[in-house]
Chains A and B, each alone.
Chain A
Amino acid sequence: MSFSVKKDKSGVVVVGVDGQLIVGNRQELKQKVLDALEGGGRKFVVDFVKTGYIDSSGLGVLVSLSKKIREQGGELRLAGLNEDLQTLFELTKLDTLFAITKTADEALAAF
């Protein structure tokens, strides 16, 4: 399974990405997050601690989801990026669009 979705005690939706976020599975992530948004979730953390690589389609889906969540008054945060993935966000300047923390716990604490 590529994604795990759980809600913490304060209602933040934490999505774990196992393996990769790429063109072939981005729709699955999108649907899971949109379902949670429709179900009333407004605060989201995507945890990449178990993620090896993300392609440009994966980056694109995060941008699109972040926009939709912001439109509903919520926020999408990212956590657990390894050094290479952090560099990917920096060189695409997407680090300026997202709040990024080292761990999901830090992201949860900052909400």
Chain B
Amino acid sequence: MVPPSPLRLHATALEMRLDVPSDLNVVGDAVQLVASRLPAGTLSPRRVSFNFRTALAEALSNAIRHGAGEDPARVVRVRVELGRDAVRIHVTDDGGGYDRTRLPDPTRPENLEREDGRGMFVIRHLVDDVAFNAKGNGICLTLRAG
């Protein structure tokens, strides 16, 4: 029997909110839940199915791994702003924040065979804008309409 999902999505016409336990095994379900409830219109189905899902999965795994220490008792908060001009994904953890702006380029020959270190690079190519809060424990990803 499948255990009940710990995920409860709160949705209005303007935004969706979801608290995600800090557990990497929940990332896929959380992404599926949010993407499946995203209203049609602002983003094309193709951008929802690839850009939105991948960017949200990356931001969630970063927050769970680096912010909330993979401790399932802690929570990572997702808020998705639903605008006509753009969809904005906010992912915030309860950690102390860290600097995600000075990361090695994963496409350099010496980094190409590394298993990790591609998360932020991938995010930057999937969305139109990336912003961090001052503390460094929150990221906002903007996908413009289209």
Give the B-binding residues of A (Cβ under 8 A).
19-20, 22-25, 52-57, 59-61, 63-64, 67, 84-85, 88, 91-94, 96-97
Contact = CB atoms under 8 A, between A and B. Distances in A.
A78 B120 CA distance: 24
A20 to B, nearest CB: 6
A33 to B, nearest CB: 14
A23 B107 contact: no
Q: How large is the interface on B (under 10, 10 to 19, 20 to 34, 35 or more residues)?
A: 20 to 34
B28 A22 contact: yes
Contact of B106 (A20, A88, A92, A96): A92
Contacts of B116: 56-57, 60
Interface string B100-144: 000000110000111111110110010000000000000000000
Given A63-B113, A63-B115, A55 B61 contact: yes
